[in-house]
Chain A
Amino acid sequence: MTEPLIAMSKVCKHYQLGKSSVPVLTNLDMNIMKGEFVGIMGPSGSGKSTTLNLLGGLDKPDSGTISVAGKHVNEMSQASLTRWRAQEVGFVFQAYNLLPILSARHNVELPLLLTRLSRTQRKMRTEAALELVGLGERVNHRPSELSGGQQQRVAIARAIVTDPSFLVCDEPTGDLDRNSANEILELLQLLKQKQNKTIVMVTHDPKAAEYADRIVMMDKGRISPEEVATCD
């Protein structure tokens, strides 16, 4: 059996709300193989986004280990986490989070500014990513001139342009109509098939199950069904 690309083990996370401590994740274990397309589902507030943030290195767990491709993400300093994110992780958000002032093309080019690539190389990579998501002629338009589905395509192109080892997508179809949502799910599936991308996607969309390899159900900070446990 091969090593998983992502391994979370006994991960605990709580938030401090005033004086009370709110446990969000309790002893969460999760393994994701390279090239896998995993959907995470569950009720609101069950800790799905928190899990994605920990996987993507946007936040750190209270305890437990998170390793990605053999690296212990939970032990990295803020500075190296920032660098690690730039190289290894692609983010796709529900609200797209594009820069409204830049054209689609320049939005996609943004993450490449953190690399040593030349201007020409950046341009080629950007073109390739845009080609892959199939935005067509609208690459010179601003986000406000694009439909939701098109904006999410731009966001996906931006997430893959640096060729990261995995994508984390937090409700990527949450703001989209049925047709656009299907197209985005198809695109993610295509990325997995053609580029062997590992994808972790939080979703409320029941259709997502048709596209993902596997669905993980979360409830109250745990992967159900499992026995109840507590963190220290």
Chain B
Amino acid sequence: MRLRLTLANLKRRPVRTALTGFSLITAFLLFGLLEPMSQMFETAAETSDTARWWVSPRHSISDMLPVRYREQVSGVQGVENTAHITWFGGTYIDAQRSSAFTRWVVTPEAFLDISPDIVLADAQRDAFINTPTGAIVGRQIAERFNLNVGDQIPLTADIWHNLDGSDWHFDLVGIYDSPQDETDTTRMFINYRYFDEYRIVGKGLISNVLFTTGSVNGAEVAKSIDVMFANSESETRTQSESDYILSQVGQIGNISFMLRSVTAAVLFTILLLTGNTMAQAIRERRNEYAALRAMGFSAGDLLALTFAEAVTLITLAAGTGMLIAALLLTYSDQVLPQSSGLNLGLPLVIQGIGIAILLAVIVTLPPAIRLLNQPIADSLRRQ
């Protein structure tokens, strides 16, 4: 019966409820889309391992570096370990999902040595090092595409075409995990040996040299590397990993802040809108509430009833909005050539529901308390 009353109250002004519900859905849809983005930008900068340094082509990320730069970098004073990495691109050949992960070419041993964020069983590590056609993928990718060690992974090239004119086939020799829960395991790493031998063009070219410096001041080392390659055929820019990621996605701090501001503005607007609607709805019920109180309903009963109504509407709308956001994010992951890596995790959903409940409290309590503080006799008196 109480539930009936709550639902009946919501149906009281169907147009108004629908409009409020629709605005709420839109607001939480935006929340569900923007919040994962700003979180991704933030975690990208935060979780990167600053112990690693990236040497990139100075002028454009589509330029390449000669592979011998790695040896030259390792000769620089202060450099500890080095490796190199090359963007593979391509498309994973799968019936439904074209390409939901990124692919990189590395020299396994050197790369794994400076990648504490990649956890691989010893046997698989050896297999990766010793199999020229070997590749490893992250746990999330393996689970999503149901990949097992021993599988062949076919890839269609877009930059690096294969000498024999067919698709690439790499042998899956390992599945890596991440030491932290949050770090993504959505990448694929390919052995450089077979790749370099069979690519048609660009033999001996790599995207970046990676290095660590131990306890030495990395900024000094980075500067001397860039000086060393100045005026060469491929000038370099050397950055810490976090700076490198920042420069890749633009001014992340600003983007994240901007996205957060949009979300906050949307939620604030919706707060005013819903607040106004609820205040109006409660004012309209002055006489009814007075009658209910005369009947023996306590102020607490009526407060609970009002809150139940608001919380039902707002959380339903919030849930719907976030559901649409989650579906959109999943869908975009499937149709875009490059995985966005965005998803609406449980913590965000909980946060969204929390915001919804808080919203319900803010919009119902003040007007309801104001009304219930009036003496019943006054509320009953007709104007």
Interface residues of A (CB under 8 A from B): 49-50, 53, 56, 58-59, 79, 82-83, 85-87, 89, 91, 93-95, 97-102, 106, 109-111, 113-114, 158
Flag whether B76 is at the interface (Cβ < 8 A). no
Known A-B contacts A58-B294, A113-B1; A97 and B287 likewise in contact (beta carbons under 8 Å)? yes
By a CB distance below 8 angstroms, the chain A residues around B287 are 95, 97
Establish whether residues A99 and B1, one from each chain, have CB atoms under 8 Å apart when the complex forms: no
Are B290 and A97 interface neighbours, CB within 8 A?
A: yes
Which chain A positions have C-beta within 8 A of B156?
Answer: none
Q: Which residues of B contact A (CB under 8 A)?
A: 1-2, 4-5, 8-9, 11-12, 287-288, 290-298, 375-377, 380-382
Q: With a CB–CB cut-off of 8 A, which chain A residues contact B294?
A: 56, 58, 85, 89, 91
Report yes or no: B375 in contact with A49, Cβ–Cβ below 8 A: no
10 further contact pairs, Cβ within 8 A, besides A53-B380, A99-B5:
A53-B376, A53-B377, A58-B377, A82-B298, A85-B296, A91-B291, A97-B287, A97-B291, A100-B288, A101-B11
B5 to chain A, nearest CB (A): 7
Q: Which of A53, A79, A86, A101 has the most CB of B within 10 A?
A: A101
Known: A93-B291, A106-B4, A113-B2. A79 touches B380 (CB 8 A): no
Min Cβ gap B284→A in Å is 10
Which of B1, B8, B291, B375 is the one whose CB lies under 8 Å from A59? B375
CA–CA, A56 to B290, complex, Å?
13
State A87–B2 Cα separation when bound (angstroms): 20
Distance A101 CA – B6 CA, assembled complex (angstroms): 10
Q: Is the CB of B298 within 8 A of A79?
A: yes
B298: A residues at CB distance < 8 A: 79, 82
Contacting pair A59 B376 (CB below 8 A): yes
Q: Is the Cβ of A97 less than 8 Å from the Cβ of B288?
A: yes
Q: Give 9 closest A-B pairs by Cβ, nearest first.
A: A86-B296, A97-B291, A101-B8, A53-B377, A58-B376, A85-B296, A91-B294, A59-B377, A111-B295
Q: When A97-B288, A101-B9, A102-B8 are in contact, do A114 and B296 touch as well, CB less than 8 Å?
A: yes
Q: Are B296 and A111 closer than 8 Å at their CB atoms?
A: yes
State in angstroms the CA–CA spacing of A142 and B287 once bound together.
17
- 11 inter-chain pairs at a CB distance below 8 angstroms, sorted by A residue, are A58-B294, A58-B375, A82-B298, A85-B295, A93-B380, A98-B288, A99-B292, A101-B11, A102-B8, A110-B295, A113-B1
- Decide if B288 touches A58 in the complex (CB within 8 Å): no
Smallest CB–CB gap between A96 and chain B, Å?
A: 9
Among B290, B295, B376, B380, find the residue whose CB has the most chain A CB atoms closer than 10 A. B295
- Which B residues are CB-close (under 8 A) to A158? 295
User: Contact at B5–A83, with CB atoms within 8 Å?
Assistant: no
Q: In the complex the two chains form, what is the Cα distance from A110 to B288 in whole Å? A: 12
CB pair B297 A114 closer than 8 Å: yes
Closest B residue to A112 using CB positions: B1
B296's nearest neighbour on chain A, judged by CB, is A86
Complex-state Cα separation, A110 to B377, whole angstroms: 20
Given contacts A86-B296, A106-B1, contact A100 B12 (CB under 8 A): yes
B380 contacts A58, CB within 8 Å? yes
Task: Establish whether residues B288 and A99, one from each chain, have CB atoms under 8 Å apart when the complex forms.
Answer: yes
Shortest distance from the beta carbon of B288 to any chain A beta carbon, whole Å: 5
Q: A114 contacts B295, CB within 8 Å?
A: yes
Chain B proximity of A121: nearest CB distance (Å): 13
Closest to B375 in A: A59
Determine the distance from Cα of A63 to Cα of B375 in the docked complex, in whole angstroms. Answer: 18
Q: In the assembly, what is the distance between CA of A82 and CA of B297, in Å?
A: 7
Distance of A95 Cα from B381 Cα, bound (Å) = 10
B144 to chain A, nearest CB (A): 48
Pairwise interchain contact B4-A87, C-beta atoms closer than 8 A:
no
The docked-state distance in angstroms from the alpha carbon of A21 to that of B91 is: 85
Question: What CA separation (Å) do A158 and B297 show in the bound complex?
Answer: 14
The chain B residue with its CB closest to the CB of A52 is B377
Give the chain B neighbours of A100 by CB distance below 8 A: 12, 288
